[in-house]
Amino acid sequence: MNQIIKHKIILNPTAGKGAAKQNQPKIEDLCRQNGLDYKLTETERPWHAAELTIQAVEEGFDVVVAVGGDGTSNEVLNGLMLAKEKLGKTAALGILCAGRGNDFAYGVGVPADLKDGCEALAAGRRITMDVGKVTGGLYPGGRYFGNGIGVGFDTIVGFEAAKFKRLSGLPVYLIAALKTLFLYFKAPHLRLDFNGSSVTEKLIQISIMNGRRMGGLFMMAPEARPDDGLFDLCFVNEISQLRMIGMIVKYIKGTQADDPAVFTGRAPGVKIEALEGGLAVHADGETIAEEGSSLQVECLKQQIEVISAYGGEKASS
pLDDT per residue, tens digit, the chain (317 aa), is: 467 899 999 999 999 889 999 999 999 999 999 999 999 999 999 999 999 999 999 999 999 999 999 999 999 999 999 999 999 999 999 999 998 779 999 999 999 999 999 999 999 999 999 999 999 999 999 999 999 999 998 888 888 877 776 666 667 777 888 888 877 678 999 999 999 999 999 999 999 999 999 988 899 999 999 999 999 999 999 999 889 889 989 999 999 999 999 999 999 999 999 999 999 999 998 999 999 999 999 999 999 999 998 765 443 33
Pair 306, 131: CB distance under 8 Å: no
Cα(86)–Cα(51) distance, integer angstroms: 12
Catalogue the E-assigned strands of the chain.
Answer: 6-11, 37-42, 63-68, 92-97, 126-136, 139-145, 148-152, 189-194, 197-209, 231-237, 262-267, 269-276, 279-283, 286-292, 294-307
Taking the mean position of all CA atoms in its chain, how far away is CA 171?
Answer: 21
**Number of neighbours of residue 101 by Cβ within 10 angstroms:** 26
User: If we measure between CA atoms, which residue out of 222, 238, 228 comes closest to residue 188?
Assistant: 238
**Number of neighbours of residue 250 by Cβ within 10 angstroms:** 17
Give, in degrees to the nearest 5, the angle at Cα 242 between 257 and 273: 60
Cα(184)–Cα(181) distance, integer angstroms: 6
CA distances from 148 to 53, 134, 151 (A): 21, 10, 10
Q: All domains of the chain, ordered by start, with CATH? A: 6-124 (3.40.50.10330), 134-301 (2.60.200.40)
pLDDT value for 252: 92
pTM of the shown model: 0.92
